[in-house]
Amino acid sequence: MAKILIVDDASFMRGSLKYIAENGSHEVVGMAKDGKEALEMYKKLKPELVTMDILMKDTDGITALKDIRKFDPAAKVIMVSALGHVEKQKEAQDNGAVGFIKKPFKQDEVLKEFERVVGKK
């Protein structure tokens, strides 16, 4: 079971990921709507895993990824995107993203990615 922070500007997507995570016996410790809020919550909640939407209004996912990794170089951040933007995925990987989840979510794929990144406890 991992403590997870979910970051997405769409409340429906946050809710979907929360449902999947909790069904997989993970604990959602927080949900943020943009990268700025994500950094503040990361510092306060110290989650084991972050799911981060790549494209968001205000502070986008790549910027937030960089900020979180600057604060905690060991942070485990999985990027989330509906887009097959290879360059954005490459940029995220270059900045320390440890995995990717595609929208629309498939529960088994999301849980497999969580387990791959944090391991089974």
Q: What is the pTM of this model?
A: 0.94
Tell me the DSSP string of 9-49. Answer: S-HHHHHHHHHHHHHTT-EEEEEESSHHHHHHHHHHH--SE
Q: For 9-16, what is the mean pLDDT?
A: 95
Task: Say which residue, 64 or 58, is predicted with more confidence.
Answer: 64
31-62: pLDDT as tens digits: 999 999 999 999 999 999 999 999 888 889 99
- Residue 107 maps to which CATH number? 3.40.50.2300
pLDDT at 103: 87
* Tally of structural domains, the chain: 1
Q: What percent of the chain has pLDDT over 90?
A: 80
Confidence check: pLDDT of 121 > 50: no
Residue 62 and residue 54 in contact, taking contact as beta carbons nearer than 8 Å: yes
Strands 27-32 and 77-81: unpaired
Residue 88 and residue 96 in contact, taking contact as beta carbons nearer than 8 Å: no
Neighbour-count burial for 71-96, b at 16+ CB within 10 Å, e otherwise: eeeebbbbbbbeeeeeebbebbeebb
Alpha-carbon span 102 to 121, nearest angstrom: 24
72-111: pLDDT as tens digits: 999 999 999 876 667 888 899 999 999 999 888 899 999 9
What are the residues whose beta carbons fall under 8 Å from the beta carbon of 91, sequence distance 6 or more? 62
Confidence check: pLDDT of 8 > 70: yes
Confidence check: pLDDT of 13 > 50: yes
pLDDT at 81: 86
Range of the domain at 93: 3-118
Alpha-carbon span 32 to 10, nearest angstrom: 10
Label residue 120 by pLDDT band (50, 70, 90): low
């999947």: which residue's tokens?
A: 20
